[in-house]
Amino acid sequence: MTLREDRPEYEARVTAVSRVTPHMVRVTLAGVRGLGGAGMPEPGLADEFFGLWVPVPGGDSVKRYYTVRRRREGRGEIDVDLVLHGTGPATEWAGVAAVGDVVAFDAPRGHYAPPSDTTSLVLCGDVTALPAIGRILEERAALETSPPASIVIALDDPADRQALALRPGDDLRWCATSALVEETRRLCGGDPLAYVWFSGEAADMRAVRARLRRELGIPASRWTTMGYWRRDSERWAARFAAAGPELQRAIDEVLETSVDDETQADRLEELLAGRGLL
């Protein structure tokens, strides 16, 4: 893993804003301009995401991560779906985003990569994962053949359900947030050639990752887990800051060692757990 420089590479203008469901706002970006002169970034993996610098009152901007829900290459447009979850710069901007707003972002990248011998897909997550799962299923629908998918999506409000590009043989369940980890655990381990993709709250992600990596010993090529957000992140950030620069140095050291991503993730988990930061 290499450390990325924390600055935007592209800029775009908001050309449309719509409400997909009660708690999901779709922002369409167009007129993408590379700040270094390049044009639209190349399309990436189906769960591609970028750091999006959203405007905050006072003229400044802050970075939060969002999925590229859809690209319309011919028109140079990108859709981003933002959950209205309460307070925070991004969710607050989503509530007031307007045509003409200018946002910046960095180069998209993604992780979704089922091996070619995959015989079934397990796609799970909470409402923040819905944009990625929606796109994964849409891209799969364009393929001639593709493995069937078991999908579990946790929602606090059933009104946030969306129509997804399902195929015969798929199994879609909507569940309560509190049931997500259990529902996901249940789907893991049945098919040795399954590919599992999970994204959601950090503690939920760790529980799913522990199941896949430690309990079931599934090779890392057959799953991807990502922590998309952290419950009570302000308290966590305060505790992280209180741990001092030595912790950041230890993290940088782990990130700079040349081991595979999963070993690196294990080491970071151990480091944070040792300081009560998990």
For ligand FAD, the closer of residues 80 and 121 by Cβ is: 80
**Least distance in Å: CB of 133 to ligand FAD?**
10
- Per the listing, tokens 């309460």 go with 86
Measured distance CA(254)–CA(264) in Å, rounded:
6
Write out the two tokens for 239.
């505790």
* Residue choice 1, 15, 76, 91 for contact with ligand FAD (CB under 6 A): 91
Residue 65 within binding range of ligand FAD, rule CB under 6 A: yes
Residues 135 and 147: beta-carbon distance below 8 Å: no
Here's the x/- map for ligand FAD, 35-54, by CB under 6 A: it reads as --------------x-----
Which DSSP letter does residue 236 get?
H
Q: Which stretch binds ligand FAD (CB under 6 A): 11-19, 64-72, 136-144, 256-264?
A: 64-72
Radius of gyration of the chain (CA): 19
| End-to-end Cα, the chain, rounded Å | 21
* Residue choice 234, 252, 256, 270 for contact with ligand FAD (CB under 6 A): 234
Task: Tell me the three-class secondary structure of 124-165, residue by residue.
Answer: EEEHHHHHHHHHHHHHHHCCCCCCCEEEEEECCCHHHCCCCC
Residue 19 within binding range of ligand FAD, rule CB under 6 A: no
How many Å separate Cα 101 from the centre of its chain? Answer: 23
Residue 124 within binding range of ligand FAD, rule CB under 6 A: no
Residues 104 and 61: beta-carbon distance below 8 Å: yes
Residue 88 within binding range of ligand FAD, rule CB under 6 A: yes
For ligand FAD, the closer of residues 120 and 223 by Cβ is: 223
User: Shortest CA distance to 180 belongs to which of 231, 107, 114?
Assistant: 231
Residue 55 within binding range of ligand FAD, rule CB under 6 A: no
**Least distance in Å: CB of 37 to ligand FAD?**
26
Residue 230 within binding range of ligand FAD, rule CB under 6 A: yes
Residues touching ligand FAD, count (CB under 6 A): 25
Which DSSP letter does residue 109 get?
B
Measured distance CA(23)–CA(91) in Å, rounded:
10
* Residue choice 208, 226, 265, 272 for contact with ligand FAD (CB under 6 A): 226
**Least distance in Å: CB of 126 to ligand FAD?**
7
Residue 188 within binding range of ligand FAD, rule CB under 6 A: no
Residue 233 within binding range of ligand FAD, rule CB under 6 A: yes
Residue 43 burial by Cβ neighbours in a 10 Å radius (0-12, 13-18, 19+):
middle
- Binding residues (CB under 6 A) for ligand FAD: these are 49, 64-67, 81-83, 85-91, 128, 131, 226, 228-234
